[in-house]
A and B are shown apart, each in its own frame.
Chain A
Amino acid sequence: MIRSLRLLYAQTRADFVWYFWRDGEMIFWSLAFPIFFLFVFSFAFGAGSQHGVSTFLVPGLIGAQVMSSGFWGVGAMLATFRDKKTLRRIYLTPLPAWIFFAGLVLYRMTLLVMQAALLVTVGALVFHVHVTGNPFAIGAILVLGAATFVSLGSVIGAVVRSTESANNIASVLTVPLAFVSDAYFPIDRFPGHVPGLLRLLPSTQFVDALRGVAMYGDPLAHYAMWILTLSLWTIAGTAVTARYFRWV
C-alpha cells in the first residue's frame, strides 16, 4: 500500500511537471487565460456593478475549468496518449492501471486547485468578490463535479481513436457548454422554457450548485436532487469508460 501510494505520488508529480510545469503554453492557457476572462467579462458586462458580475463569474469560471479538466485534461489526453502509443508502452509495464489514471486525475486536480485559488484571490483583490460558503460543502461540490467531468471526459478517451477528433470533441463540448451552463453568462436571460431545459444539463447543475454553495451560502441539501443526478452521470461515464477503454 505504501509502495502504491509512493508510486502514485511519483506518477502525479511526473505528470504535473512534464505536462504543466515545464510547458509555458499550458501555464498560460490554464492560469492566465481564466483571469483574462474574468477581467474582460467583468468590465464588458459589469457596466457600473462589476461586483455582481464578478461574483457570478468567479464560480462560473471555476466550474468551466472543472469541465475542461475532464474533457481536455483527462479525455483528450487519454486519446492522445493512445494515438502516440504512449498508452501501450505503459500497459506493458506492471504499473497498476488505477495508479496511471489516478495520477493523471490528481495532476489535473492539483492544477484545478491552483486555478481556483488564483480566481478567488484575484476576484477578492480586484473585484471584491468574497466566498462566503462552507469550505467543506464547497470542497464536496468541487470533488463531485470533478468526478462527473473526469468520468464523462474519459468516455472521449475511451471511444475516440485519434488525437485530432478527441481535441475537436473536447473543444466542442467545453466552450459552448460553458456558455449554456450558467458559467460565463446567466442562462436566465434566455426566453421561456430554455433556462429550465438547460438546467437538465449536468454542467448547469454543477455550476449552479457550486455558485449557490460558495457564493450564497446555500446548504448542500438544497441541491440534493442535482447531487444525485451528477452522481448518476459519474457512474454512467465510468461504466462506459470501463467497458470501451482500450490501451492499444
Chain B
Amino acid sequence: MGESAIAVDELHKHFGNVRAVDGITFAVAPGTIFGLLGRNGAGKTTTLETCIGLQKPTSGSVRVLGLDPTKRRDFERLRRLVGVQLQATSLPEKAYVREILTLFAAYYGIVPNTQALATRVGLGEKLDRFVGKLSGGEQQRLALALALLHDPPILFLDEPSAGMDAFGRRVLWAEVDRLRVAGKTVVLTTHYIEEAERLCDEICIVQAGKIVARDTPAGLVAAHGGAARIGFVAHGFAPLPQLEGLGVWTQLGERWTLAVASEPGAALGAIVAAANAASVTIEQLDLRRPNLEDAFIAITGESLEDEDATSAA
C-alpha cells in the first residue's frame, strides 16, 4: 500500500451548532478510486472541500500528498497537483467552451489540445458553443474537463454525475475508468448507488458527519447486504424437512421465498431436485443477490431513493 495519497485524521467541521463533519478518519492509497457515499447533508462535500483547502477544519487534520491544504504554501503547491470538479460550477455564460478551456489551461501555463479534451468529455461538437447555452449536464462535463486539463495525479469530483443524463454518466464513468488505468487517485462523492458500485475500489458510507462503514463494494455487500433470495411459484409445494435447513422460508399465496443461508447455487439445486421428486412444477423462478443498496439500507437504516427530488446541494 505504501504512503497514502490522502490522509484525513479525526476531521471535525462545525458550522455554528451544526456538526457537518463529526470525526472522520480515512486514508486513500495512491491509484485508488475512493467513494464517499451518503445522502445529501451527510458531510461528504464538506469533507471533500476540506481536502482541497476550501474549508478549514474545526479540528483534526488533512494531508494530500503530504501537503497541508490549510497552509498557504502547501495549498499553492497543491493547486497544481489536484484536479477538482465542484458541484454546480458557474462559468461565464458568454464564453465559448473553447475559450474557457484555453484560459484555464493558461492558468496552469499550458496550451491545451481543446479538441481532444472536449471530445474526451463528450463535448467535441460543442467547442464553439456559449457556456450559457450548454445543458446542466454538459456544463458538468465541462467542469470535468477543467479538472482533467493539467493531468493531475489526484482528482476530487464532487457529485460528478449530478444533473447528467445517461450519456453524460457513460462519459463520466468511461473517464473514471481511464483515470484508474492511468493510476490516478480519485476521490468522488455520490449519492448514486450504481455509480459507487460501478466506479469505486473503496467506499466510505457517510452518515451524519461520520463514516459508518468502509470497505470494497463487494466487501460491504458481503458483510451487510444480507442473504440472497430465491423466489418461485409452485402449486402444492411444501418445504420438506431436508429443505428447511437451507435458510428462512416465507410464503405469500403460492409464492415461496427463501432467504438463503449460504451459497444460493447449492440451495437452488436442492429445491429443484425436491420439486422434481415430488413432480411439482416450479414457475417464475428468480434469484436475487444482495447489492450495495441492501448493504446501504442495512448500515444506515435509510434509503438513497428520492434523493434527487428532495435534495438541495
Task: Tell me the A residues contacting B by CB distance below 8 Å.
Answer: 3, 6-7, 10-11, 14, 17-19, 22-23, 84-86, 88-95, 248
Contact = CB atoms under 8 A, between A and B. Distances in A.
Chain B contact residues: helix, strand, loop or mixed = loop
Given A92-B79, A94-B107, A248-B54, A85 B89 contact: yes
Contacts of B146: 89
B92 interface: yes
Given A18-B94, A19-B94, A22-B94, A92 B106 contact: no
A108 to B, nearest CB: 15
8 smallest A-B Cβ distances: which pairs? A84-B90, A22-B94, A93-B107, A95-B107, A18-B92, A18-B94, A18-B95, A94-B79
B88 interface: yes
Contacts of A94: 76, 79-80, 107-109
B90 A93 contact: no
Interface string B232-265: 0000000000000000000000000000000000
A60 B89 CA distance: 40
B86 A88 contact: yes
Nearest to A84: B90
Contacts of B177: none
Nearest to A22: B94
Contact of B109 (A3, A11, A19, A84): A3
Most A C-beta atoms less than 10 A away, residue of B52, B53, B107, B109: B107
Chain A contact residues: helix, strand, loop or mixed = helix
A23 B94 contact: yes
Given A14-B95, A14-B99, A248 B55 contact: yes
A92 B76 contact: no
Interface string B100-138: 000110111100000000000000000000000000000
Given A14-B99, A86-B89, A89-B146, 17 more contacts: A14-B95, A14-B103, A18-B92, A19-B92, A85-B88, A86-B90, A88-B54, A89-B84, A89-B86, A89-B91, A91-B54, A92-B52, A92-B86, A93-B79, A93-B107, A93-B108, A94-B108
A85 B95 CA distance: 16
A17 B96 CA distance: 11
Contacts of B107: 7, 90, 93-95
Contacts, number: 62
A95 to B, nearest CB: 4
A7 B106 contact: yes
A37 B94 CA distance: 28
11 contacts: A3-B109, A17-B95, A18-B94, A23-B94, A85-B90, A88-B54, A89-B86, A93-B108, A94-B76, A94-B108, A248-B55
Interface of B: 52-55, 76, 79-80, 82, 84, 86, 88-95, 99, 103-104, 106-109, 143, 146
Contacts of A22: 94
A94 B105 CA distance: 10
A90 B94 CA distance: 17
Most A C-beta atoms less than 10 A away, residue of B54, B91, B92, B104: B92
A84 B82 CA distance: 22
Contacts of A3: 109
Contacts of B143: 89
Nearest to A87: B90
Contacts of A95: 107
A7 B89 CA distance: 22
A93 B104 contact: yes
Nearest to A10: B106
Contacts of A86: 89-92
Nearest to B91: A86
Nearest to B94: A22
Nearest to A23: B94
B94 A85 contact: no
Contacts of A90: 107
A17 B104 CA distance: 16
Given A3-B109, A94-B79, A94-B80, A89 B103 contact: no
Most B C-beta atoms less than 10 A away, residue of A6, A7, A91, A92: A92
B84 A92 contact: yes
A86 B143 CA distance: 11
A222 B275 CA distance: 109
Most B C-beta atoms less than 10 A away, residue of A17, A18, A88, A91: A18
